[in-house]
Amino acid sequence: MNVPLGKYGLSLLCMLLFAINTRAQELQCNVEVLGDKIQNVDAKVFMSLKKSLADFLNNRKWTTDNFKPNEKIECNFLLTIESMAGENTYKASLNIQASRPVYNTDYNTPTVNYVDRDVVFKFVETQVLNFDDNRVSGSNAMESNLTAVFAYYAYLILGLDYNSFQQDGGLNYLKRAQNVVNNAPEEGKQITGWKATEGTRNRYWLIDQMLSPRFSKFSEYWYSFHRLGLDRMSQHPDEARKTILDGIATLTEINNDNPSSILLQFFFNAKTNEFVNILTQTPPAERKDYVSQLSRMDVPGAARYRAIK
């Protein structure tokens, strides 16, 4: 039987719809899975994996805050399956990209542009992806490693996004990423990327440096770069540009104290293009020192800096 809603019923319905809308999830991720290198595996497995990962990232509530649809954080995850590591088990690389809008413009600034080459996991077509921050989910470590890796980067994206709007505003989410590291699954030597002893450029060291007091000035500059620099560029371009360029000295200090840190390379992976663009708008007589400093720290981008010298 159809019952008219009436004025109060309509009001209640609108309130419920508004509540659902304002509690929308935080991430708007595009997920791609490339399995072209793998033979004798039904393509439907990778299609299922793609859907499961997209649902995991986009439908999970990662924070307690309410996000409107237009406030969702845009990100891209490209999982490239490189080889088989056992039955239903794969080795892969993961390209992660994220961005956030710049105030009063139609430009999105990249916050993450990183490739993780230490991803190994087990997946079958009907598998449900589960994750618990504080323990290995499921009985198989290989299955758990998949969601642990993606959760780690989801928290990283959130932490950096929040930090770009408020000084240390994303600290809680960076700590959650570190918690994923501390509770990461293990299975012999196949699962890698989570331990300090496995090298100096992995998930362990990236989040360790983000939270370490040795790199506290990086967090300050990250906020200044975005909120006091890029977000003010449209209205106060000279002041905003000066804020960003003055901070290069801070990066140099960090680099001198912590040479070859993964954190600074992680930063430059996302920001080289923006530094180049800002320097091209800087009077030639003022560029030389900035170019020299950036070239020493950001070796992959050195040629591009010198080209505008």
Helix (H), strand (E), coil (C) string for 152-182: HHHHHHHHHHHHHHCCCCCHHHHHHHHHHHH
pLDDT interval class at 214 (50, 70, 90): very high
Q: What is the pLDDT of residues 66-121, one digit of tens each?
A: 999 989 999 999 999 999 999 999 999 999 999 999 999 999 999 999 999 999 99
What average pLDDT score do residues 39-67 get?
95
Give me the pLDDT at residue 288, please: 93
The answer to whether 144 touches 122, Cβ cutoff 8 Å, is no
Residues in the chain: 309
Residue with tokens 């699962």: 191
pLDDT interval class at 134 (50, 70, 90): confident
| Listed range (66-70, 81-85, 179-183, 300-304) with the worst mean pLDDT | 66-70
Residue with tokens 């542009």: 113
Per-residue burial over 49-74, b if 16 or more Cβ lie within 10 Å, else e, is bbebbbebbbebebbeeebeeeeebb
Question: Cα dist. 23→19, 59, 70 in Å?
Answer: 6, 11, 12
| Helices and strands (DSSP H and E) totals, the chain | 11, 4
The pLDDT of residue 20 is above 60: no
Q: 248-257 and 216-223 helices cross at what angle (nearest 10)? A: 160
**How much of the chain is helix, strand and coil, in % rounded to 5?**
55, 20, 30
Nearest-angstrom CA–CA distance, 8 and 121: 51
Look at residues 270, 243, 265 and name the one whose alpha carbon lies nearest to residue 254.
265
> Element (H or E) spanning 89, and its range?
strand 89-101
Give me the pLDDT at residue 3, please: 38
List, in sequence order, the alpha helices (H) in 80-231.
Answer: 141-165, 171-182, 203-211, 216-223
Give me the pLDDT at residue 309, please: 67
Nearest-angstrom CA–CA distance, 202 and 196: 8
Q: 43-59 and 141-165 helices cross at what angle (nearest 10)? A: 40
Pairing relation of β-strands 89-101 and 108-122? antiparallel
DSSP 23-62: TB-SEEEEEEEE-TT--SS-HHHHHHHHHHHHHHHHHS--
pLDDT interval class at 224 (50, 70, 90): very high
Tokens describing residue 118: 């230490």
Nearest-angstrom CA–CA distance, 67 and 21: 8
What average pLDDT score do residues 4-8 get?
44
Fill in the amino acid letter for 75: C
Each domain of the chain, given as residue ranges in start order, spans 24-211, 218-307
